[in-house]
Structure 1
Amino acid sequence: MRADRRSFMKAATLGAAAAVAAPYGFVKTINQAWGAQSWLKKGEPIKIGLLFSLSGGLAVPEEDSTLVMQYAIDEINKNGGIAGSPIEPVIVDAKSDFNVYSEKTKELILRNRVVAIFGCYTSASRKAILPTVMAQNHLLYYPTCYEGAECTQNTICTGPLANQHSRDLIPFMVEQFGKKVFFVGSNYVWPKESNKNAKVWLEKAGGELLGEEYIPLGSSEFGPVLNKIREAKPSFIFSTVVGASDIAFHKQFKQEGFKVDSMPIASLTTGEIETRAMGNEFGAGHFLSAPYFQGLDNPTNHKFVEGFLKSKYGKNGTTHYNMEETYLSAYVFKYGLEKAIAAGGIEAVTPRSIRDHSGGVRVEDAISPEGLVWIDDQNFNTWLKPKIGQCQADGSFKIVKASAEHVAPDPYSIYPDLGKCTADGLKAADGKVRKSVI
């Protein structure tokens, strides 16, 4: 007995010392073990992580994501917060470095103990942090477009999937400008997978792919690519170039003498913020597919644009699709968390329980600048109305096509044989379910 007691005391002492020495030691949630630490406590701030790049090549879109999240948090806090508790952001600069995204994700979850992370712009950065998010059964709000072909139980996405994005843009451009297309993208997973989808839509539209080129993420040298485009003579260019590279591509397109009226660029990323950064003359005449544009004419958007631009966060002088999708994610979080609290009390909330209560969450017209959207209760992506805009001389976008109905998100739209993304995982035709598929 005495030996057993000594062994027990020694083990307890070593365990306590290890907990102090390891600042990243994982503490189980309240409904996983007796005496475990809860993620939230009544009356205390609700901590969330903002993991975007404030420096480097991805800062052009991602700095605005950080700014608009702070704006949304202030807005929610001024209206009583969530269940009487204010939201407290932990802001991190990911420095456009995938290793930093991964490292800081661990810090946010294990040291800062945020209950959710809002972050990333590229799929490469998302895939860099997802293994940690899933290993800790945590929660990522990914507030931008992505390629699909993914089914995790730890992600909520408020941007469009490929079937809500390029499926309308490709046939529209073929009809308006011709069948011959040249693809240009940044060299990582989102452009390449997006182009697989675009090829399907192009074939169905009777188009012809003349060439497909990828440049390193962050590169600003497009001379060789533009030479190939000059030789190929496409009807239009389909671009999945992102960040600072996108700005360089549009500027060099014009500087090299290409004419937008005879060979426009159709993009999935070049919105108002990129146009402002490059200069309106370089964006004018080109096209973008997105669910949101600053010029949308509805009372909620007018209020959002005016309020944001007049706030201390509106320093960059414009709103755009990625900002609006990020803004929506703050309210999706609020409504999902409120449902989780109502179901079991605030101290029983876990990151996963927020996700599980977010299926079907709606952001109504009165809050959403793009109009009503809602979260799919199976794949936790967003039902929305796709739109196509053409950039004008003043940098604004004129809507040239808009869906009359909401389009369901379909992560596996070109891979139906792989199965269907459900709330529990990817369900194959034989009924077997694979969890956390990336």
Structure 2
Amino acid sequence: MRLTKRGVAAPTALIAVGLMLTACGSRAGDESVVGSAASCVDTSGDTIKVGSLNSLSGTMAISEVTVRDSIRLAVDQINEDGGVLGKQIEIVPEDGASDPATFREKAEKLVRQDCVAAVFGGWTSASRKAMLPVFENNNALLYYPVQYEGLESSSNIFYSGATTNQQIVPALDYLKEQGISSIYLVGSDYVFPRTANDIIKAYAAAHDIEVLGEDYVPLGGSADFSTILNKVRSASPDAIFNTLNGDANVAFFREYANVGLTPETTPVMSVSIAEEEVASIGVQSIEGQLTAWNYYQTVDTPENAAFVAAYKDRYGQNKPTSDPMEAAYTSVFLWAASVESADSFDVDAVRDAAGGISFDAPEGTVVINGDNNHLTKTSRIGVINSEGLIDTVWESDGPIDPDPYLTSYDWAEGLSGN
């Protein structure tokens, strides 16, 4: 059965997964659309094109190849169930090559030359910000699947990963509840870590947590962490807050062990390390460390059991699932439901129909907030176990409404996006 406006039947491979269409909300920020370029999306045939734009090479390939795979899985399942508005989805894949300029170039190609109805992808905030003008100027849609620093809302981007109050703030709340009174900040040198750390410092100042140091390494390439981690050891913080991205985490955790730090004495809270990165880093280097996400492979829901089984059947029994993969997978179903609700592939119609649409995702039920194009999401803190998976040690009482500008927190006044 194909997707319909009244309700959405689950794909055969996901028997328990359902979509529920509810009342529409307004577009993000209610601002007027910047773009004026005419759409070249072709809806006359039996297929509809979408773009998949992920880093298949470079420093971020460690994380993004599997996101590409989960997008393919979602598209195949929707196609098996009849497609979208009776059309089969055709993926046009592109490699962002871990380079923001390349992401922008490939996004322009997908929208202007390949004439895709939507693009799924991006990881770093630098890649997202590089692509944002392309989607706004051409009034096209990007579905961005990764947690990020917040302080942004675009009518042309749907954010299916966590915003700050759904990941970073709960991570800080958890550390505070564990008695942490001092932290050291380590991150990659680009938009997300620097903005996230500004938010962390504002939180720390309001909650009597001392920030003992703040260091960054370039994104990409081999980083030498010996100096930084010797500084960390000398400062003796209660915990490290880690906003490193990509393969720098491999060198970081190996050097962390070399200088004698342990999860028992100096735990690390990471917000960009999921199951796929654990495997690349090596479980022996990271077991016992903390993570903050909205989804883990170990989440116990029927929808997740079906998702994990389908992914492993497709890509290998030794392949783990992770939060960005699940968010990307979910975003394809949300786009399809929005199209069905709008009864159109037109960007304005899809955007206006999206608010209030929900999906029983592997992580739990998510709902599109029509005011800011973010999702309600359940927050989870996890500990990496000896098998390389992540066990939940704390989760929010239910889905948290997205607050990308942190307007509900007095301590966040004065913060602004980059």
Shorter-chain TM range is 0.7 to 0.9
Contact 2:186-2:243 within 8 A present in 1 as well: yes
Contact 2:37-2:139 within 8 A present in 1 as well: no
Shift of 1:174: 3.0
Contact 2:233-2:259 within 8 A present in 1 as well: no
Query: What pairs up with 1:159-238 in 2 under 5 angstroms?
Result: 159-176=161-178, 178-218=180-220, 219-238=222-241
Q: Which residue of 1 aligns with 2:277?
A: 274
SS in 2 for 1:363: strand
Q: Which residue of 2 aligns with 1:350?
A: 346
2:114 is aligned with 1:118: no
Equivalent in 129, 132, 135 of residue 133 of structure 1:
135
For residues 109 and 377 of structure 1, the distance between their equivalents in structure 2, rounded to whole angstroms, comes to: 23
Contact 1:177-1:236 within 8 A present in 2 as well: no
2:31 is aligned with 1:28: no
2:306 is aligned with 1:303: yes
For residues 377 and 370 of structure 1, the distance between their equivalents in structure 2, rounded to whole angstroms, comes to: 20
AA in 1 matched with 2:351: R
Shift of 1:44: 2.4
Contact 2:120-2:142 within 8 A present in 1 as well: yes
Contact 2:37-2:137 within 8 A present in 1 as well: no
Q: Which residue of 2 aligns with 1:373?
A: 366
- The Cα RMSD (Å) is 2.0
For residues 186 and 316 of structure 2, the distance between their equivalents in structure 1, rounded to whole angstroms, comes to: 31
Shift of 1:95: 0.9
For residues 65 and 316 of structure 1, the distance between their equivalents in structure 2, rounded to whole angstroms, comes to: 16
Shift of 1:315: 7.6
For residues 172 and 149 of structure 1, the distance between their equivalents in structure 2, rounded to whole angstroms, comes to: 22
SS in 2 for 1:372: strand
Listed one character per residue, the Cα deviations across residues 50-95 of structure 1 (whole Å, up to 9, x for unaligned) are 1100010000111011011001111110000111111101000111
Listed one character per residue, the Cα deviations across residues 196-250 of structure 1 (whole Å, up to 9, x for unaligned) are 2222332343211101111110143211111110110101100000111122212
2:403 is aligned with 1:395: no
For residues 169 and 295 of structure 1, the distance between their equivalents in structure 2, rounded to whole angstroms, comes to: 19
For residues 105 and 398 of structure 1, the distance between their equivalents in structure 2, rounded to whole angstroms, comes to: 36
Q: Which residue of 1 aligns with 2:10?
A: none
Q: Which residue of 2 aligns with 1:14?
A: none
Q: Which residue of 2 aligns with 1:262?
A: 265
Identity rate of aligned residues, in percent? Answer: 34
AA in 1 matched with 2:218: P
SS in 1 for 2:73: helix
Which one has the bigger helix percentage?
Answer: 1
Equivalent in 229, 246, 250 of residue 247 of structure 1:
250
Q: Residue 314 and residue 72 in structure 1: after superposition, are their counterparts in 2 closer, same or farther (change >3 A)?
A: farther
Shift of 1:317: 1.0
For residues 370 and 111 of structure 1, the distance between their equivalents in structure 2, rounded to whole angstroms, comes to: 35
For residues 416 and 282 of structure 1, the distance between their equivalents in structure 2, rounded to whole angstroms, comes to: 36
Q: Which residue of 2 aligns with 1:90?
A: 92
TM-score normalized by the length of structure 2: 0.86
SS in 2 for 1:384: coil
Q: Residue 315 and residue 117 in structure 1: after superposition, are their counterparts in 2 closer, same or farther (change >3 A)?
A: farther
Shift of 1:251: 2.0
Runs of 4+ in 1 over 4 A off after TM superposition: 414-417
Equivalent in 57, 60, 66 of residue 58 of structure 1:
60
Q: Which residue of 1 aligns with 2:323?
A: 321
Q: Which residue of 2 aligns with 1:362?
A: 358
Contact 1:52-1:119 within 8 A present in 2 as well: yes
Q: Which residue of 2 aligns with 1:3?
A: none
For residues 152 and 275 of structure 1, the distance between their equivalents in structure 2, rounded to whole angstroms, comes to: 32
Q: Which residue of 1 aligns with 2:399?
A: 406
AA in 1 matched with 2:303: T
Q: Which residue of 2 aligns with 1:290?
A: 293
For residues 228 and 259 of structure 1, the distance between their equivalents in structure 2, rounded to whole angstroms, comes to: 15
For residues 224 and 299 of structure 1, the distance between their equivalents in structure 2, rounded to whole angstroms, comes to: 46
Listed one character per residue, the Cα deviations across residues 147-178 of structure 1 (whole Å, up to 9, x for unaligned) are 11112110101111111111111132233252
For residues 172 and 119 of structure 1, the distance between their equivalents in structure 2, rounded to whole angstroms, comes to: 30
For residues 134 and 390 of structure 1, the distance between their equivalents in structure 2, rounded to whole angstroms, comes to: 39
SS in 1 for 2:178: helix
Q: Which residue of 2 aligns with 1:386?
A: 379
Q: Which residue of 1 aligns with 2:339?
A: 337
Shift of 1:358: 1.0
Shift of 1:353: 2.5
SS in 2 for 1:243: coil
AA in 1 matched with 2:406: S
Listed one character per residue, the Cα deviations across residues 381-408 of structure 1 (whole Å, up to 9, x for unaligned) are 0101101001111111121110112211
AA in 2 matched with 1:378: D
For residues 49 and 89 of structure 1, the distance between their equivalents in structure 2, rounded to whole angstroms, comes to: 6
Shift of 1:414: 5.7
AA in 2 matched with 1:99: A
Contact 1:138-1:352 within 8 A present in 2 as well: no
Shift of 1:180: 1.1
SS in 1 for 2:187: strand
Shift of 1:42: 4.7
Structure 2 stretches lacking a partner, 5+ long: 1-35
SS in 2 for 1:380: coil
For residues 317 and 111 of structure 2, the distance between their equivalents in structure 1, rounded to whole angstroms, comes to: 30
